Amino acid sequence: MARIVRVAACQMGPVQRADPREATLARLIALLEKAAAEGARLAVFPELALTTFFPRWPIEDEAELLSYFEPEMPNPNVQPLFDRARALGVGFYLGYAELDRGAFDDGPGGDGAVRRRGYNSAVLVAPDGTILGKYRKVHLPGSERVRPGQRWQQLEKRYFAYGDLGFPAFRTEAPIGPGIMGMLICNDRRWPEAWRCLGLQGAEMVLVGYNSAAYDPNGGEGESAALRTFHSTLVAQANAYMNATWAVAVAKAGEEDGAGLIGGSCIVDPNGQVVAQATTLGDEVLVADCDLDATRQGKTKMFDFAAHRRPQHYRRIVDQVGVVPPS
């Protein structure tokens, strides 16, 4: 009795700052239609799929900053995607900037203050349009403050509050299929704690959208795009294996407003083997049949957590944040 989820990794090419929302939404819908035409019941879109990766700039203008955030989900700007998904009977994961006035903890104010306007979020939407779950990114990279003299920034800690929902897993039902799924966003995928918190809820498929720099746009010495893509694939593979789960990792890729993003979107099985991987840096759909019962081998043997984990020796993971070297 296989439990097959036919999933589509819907990689996107860049979304330029100047692109009208309608054009971006049309691209998302085109990807969704391609996924549906191949029989997929679940489409996975990238992190911040609706806009350019705006944390790369210092943004002083409040109206511009707010223009990147969704006041609610869905809202009229994205309703056509929800409508089309419902008509096609396809569920989806969508990354977006979630406006939340409760996250406006800007501190004492002044030019250096942070400008948190909400969360870097993702929703899991059922084929009938119901929002099955929401996740707010926990591992925000970058800095709160603008780094002087650098043309390109990484200001996620400036514009977003840290996710406050933990790492919830969600049950899915037909037509996606009966399973347990979790969501991560971008940098989260490099943190084994995030995957383990999902694994400890029995996650059988982990959905991850990302926007990851392909090179240092400020021209510093740095890792090559090939090495960064290797890292991205490696963490999806190993964390899928170590938690006996499928993983679907989906990029926004290519040259976006003058800064490069890696591609390498992939679907990974519970053995950590890549079953499909993007070959372009543009809009591209990968489809695979993922048997959620293929997670049973790992979950009941090598990674039978109840039989083999020893949490009494893991205290450092929660008792300290940074490194405490031996004396």
Here's the x/- map for a second copy, 223-242, by CB under 8 A: it reads as x---x--xx--xx-xxx-xx
Name the residue type at position 283. Answer: D
Name the residue type at position 300. Answer: T
- Catalytic residue flag (residue 47): yes
The residue whose two tokens read 């070959």 is 279
Cα dihedral angle (263, 190, 211, 123), rounded to 10 degrees?
110
Query: Segment near a second copy (CB under 8 A), from 26-34, 115-123, 278-286, 308-316?
Result: 308-316
Q: Which of 190, 207, 210, 278 binds a second copy (CB under 8 A)?
A: 190
- CA–CA separation, 191 and 189 (whole Å): 5
Interface positions, 99-158, toward a second copy (CB under 8 A): 138-141
Binding of residue 33 to a second copy (CB under 8 A)? no
Residues in Cβ contact with 268 at an 8 Å cutoff, skipping those fewer than 6 apart? 236, 237, 240, 246, 247, 248, 249, 274, 275
Here's the x/- map for a second copy, 191-220, by CB under 8 A: it reads as xxx-xxx-xxxx------------------
Q: Which is nearer to a second copy, 80 or 222 (CB)?
A: 222
Q: Which is nearer to a second copy, 81 or 268 (CB)?
A: 268
Binding of residue 314 to a second copy (CB under 8 A)? yes
CB of 67 to a second copy, least distance (A): 28
Q: Which of 67, 75, 130, 273 binds a second copy (CB under 8 A)?
A: 273
- Catalytic residue flag (residue 137): yes
8 A C-beta contact, residue 161 and residue 118: yes
- CA–CA separation, 187 and 313 (whole Å): 26
- Which has the closest alpha carbon to 234: 264, 278, 202, 194? 264
User: Choosing from 134, 156, 186, 252, which is the catalytic residue?
Assistant: 186
As a three-state string, the secondary structure of 245-300 is CEEEEEEECEEECCEEECCCCEEECCCCCEEEECCCCCCEEEEEEEEHHHHHHHHH
Q: Which is nearer to a second copy, 78 or 203 (CB)?
A: 203
CB of 155 to a second copy, least distance (A): 14
Three-state secondary-structure class, residue 171: strand
Instruction: Give the residues lining the site for a second copy (CB under 8 A).
Output: 138-141, 162-163, 166-171, 180, 187, 190-193, 195-197, 199-202, 223, 227, 230-231, 234-235, 237-239, 241-242, 271-273, 299, 302-311, 313-326
Residues annotated catalytic, as ranges: 47, 137, 186
